[in-house]
Amino acid sequence: MRPPARERVAFVLKGYPRLSETFIAQEILALEKLGLDILIFSLRRPTDRRTHPVHSEIRAPVVYLPEYLHRGPLRVLRAWWSVRRWPTYRATRRLWLRDLWRDFTANRIRRFGQALVLANELPGDVHRLHAHFLHTPSSVTRYAAALRGLGWTGSAHAKDIWTTPDWDLQEKLASCEWLVTCTATNCAHLGALAPKGRVELVYHGLDLRRFAPMPAERQPRKGASVDDIVTILSVGRLVEKKGTDVLLESLARLPGELHWKLVHVGGGPLAGELRQRAVRLGISNRIEWRGTQTQTELLSEYRAADIFALASKVAEDGDRDGLPNVLMEAQTQSLPCVATDVSAIHELIVTGVTGLLVAPESPEELARALGSLIVDPARRRELGNAARLRVCAEFGLEGNIARLAAKFGLPPQEGDFSGAKAASCA
């Protein structure tokens, strides 16, 4: 184990730990292994009952800020009573009031209260704040950093970029020291709003040691009979942007003579509505709703499936996927992916080479793509193998985490992730 870096960094997260944010936990663990000393501040307590194995490996302590100020009034009052005497308080309050004028919401008030607590309770050996997501966590981080006179940095992902007003993004991008984002699409959008050179592309990447190759080739199922059923897997929260409604509509359009089943992994607020939609479409008997799963359980699902499908779309409020990690995870298992050309998915899937891309919100086109792969196991194998080679070559954790480590001032080092590519892609 390498000695910790001199600089201790406080990571500010909206919630920790979360099953849907494995990429953040993976990044934290990798940075710890490279010597970064991390303290986690979470704006809310976990709602998931289970965690991934990676969470148990992370050493960073966690401090939970009051999610709602009225639930921790004494803590907030103590923080304000202390912080109000600091020479930075008045300027930071003016900054917040200017934001509040443009965003007069309870959420904006709550962000300042959380920032007071964060600033007051931040240990003296923390020299930088780092926010994951450009919406609420970055607001709290920005105010707290101003109060403490510290620099702050950030990571931007998906919803936080596309549902935050441009004025808010511009203020934060002008304030932070640097920001990384996980897709070229995000980078172009944010780069147009930021000072030159402020935003950099760093893919999340996968720790390929957790995704060893399939131990054997899949059976060449064709969906020709009840004894030859093709399994389609989809993984994602049951929220609008994941397009599960579109996927269900496409499945209902598949030819009746094809034998298939859908396995869905993930929970969310639309679960009941989508189950009812499947009933109305007459396909509910072909669907297995598995709910949330750990990364270990999910690996077994990838290996048992024949096709991976994700019908992402842009939600009414502008929310959309970035580059879903589940697509990369599926590809490590040589699982052919059918997805929609939304946001940055085309940065991963080269249509016709490493998977199939279709237009978003087009059940007919999605059905044709799925149908073509159901009956053609050789094509599935070709796409899946090509996808595995590309994701291992370009989207592994090793190279991408090295770039992020350099942003935190960690010296170039080898060992923790060396060999992961060869071990997983041989």
Q: Which residue has the higher pLDDT, 217 or 7?
A: 217
Q: How much is the mean pLDDT over the chain?
A: 92
Torsion sign over Cα 407, 408, 413, 418: negative
Write out pLDDT tens, residues 173-197.
999 999 999 999 999 999 999 999 9
Say which residues have a Cβ less than 8 Å from residue 279's Cβ, sequence separation at least 6: none
Q: 204 φ, ψ to 5°?
A: -65, -45
d(CA 210, CA 208): 5
Write out pLDDT tens, residues 33-58.
999 999 999 999 988 778 888 888 99
pLDDT at position 419: 34
Nearest-Å Rg of the Cα atoms of the chain is 23
- Cα of 151 vs its chain's centroid, Å: 25
Domain 8-207+396-423 and domain 210-392, same fold? Reply is yes
Percent of all residues in the chain with a pLDDT value above 70, rounded to a whole number: 95
The CATH classification of domain 210-392, taken from the options 3.30.70.1400, 3.30.43.10, 3.40.50.2000, 3.40.50.720: 3.40.50.2000
pLDDT at position 322: 85
pLDDT at position 413: 66
Provide the 3-class DSSP secondary structure of residue 288.
strand
DSSP state of 2: P
Q: Is the pTM of this model over 0.75?
A: yes
pLDDT at position 404: 92
Write out pLDDT tens, residues 309-349.
999 999 999 988 888 999 999 999 999 999 999 989 999 99
The residues spanned by each domain of the chain are 8-207+396-423, 210-392
> 24 is written with which tokens?
């953040």
The CATH code for residues 8-207+396-423 is 3.40.50.2000
Write the single-letter amino acid at 420: A
Provide the 3-class DSSP secondary structure of residue 36.
coil
Say which residues have a Cβ less than 8 Å from residue 104's Cβ, sequence separation at least 6: none
